Amino acid sequence: MSMSDPAAEPVESADFDGEEAAPEPVVEASEVEVTLQRSVRVGRVIVGAAIAGAIIAALAALFFPIDEKSDYTMGQVMGFSALIGAAIGLGIGALLVLILNAAAKRRRGTGVAIQSDVR
């Protein structure tokens, strides 16, 4: 008669994988009517206008001659002109954004969005 320890023997079960079965997710879907409104990307327009203003002003400074007896160089003139041009471009870009936003707000629409909640 041999006595074996039942706790030492592995228990084999065909139904047990070592993980508990996760409950099936419950999906609740509901339709919601939403308003669609277009808008302008403000940052991109303003930065683009400031860069364009700086480049145009710096290039325009090349068309004016500098006296040889002056205390400033062509680089200083171009830099100062670029600074002023960037400020002017910034203002023009801001006005352009206001106009484009007013035009974009006219185009409104409605749509149906499906909201899904998973639990």
Please provide the average confidence, as pLDDT, over all residues in the chain. Answer: 85
* pLDDT at site 14: 52
Residue 12, pLDDT above cutoff 80: no
Distance of CA 28 to the CA centre of its chain: 30
- Least confident range from 6-20, 66-80, 96-110: namely 6-20
Classify 93 as helix, strand or coil.
helix
* pLDDT at site 39: 85
* pLDDT at site 22: 77
* pLDDT at site 5: 57
Over the Cα atoms of the chain, what is R_g?
A: 35
Residue 10, pLDDT above cutoff 80: no
Contacts of 59-66 with CB under 8 Å at 24 or more apart are 60/85
Average pLDDT over residues 92-116: 90
Average pLDDT over residues 73-96: 96
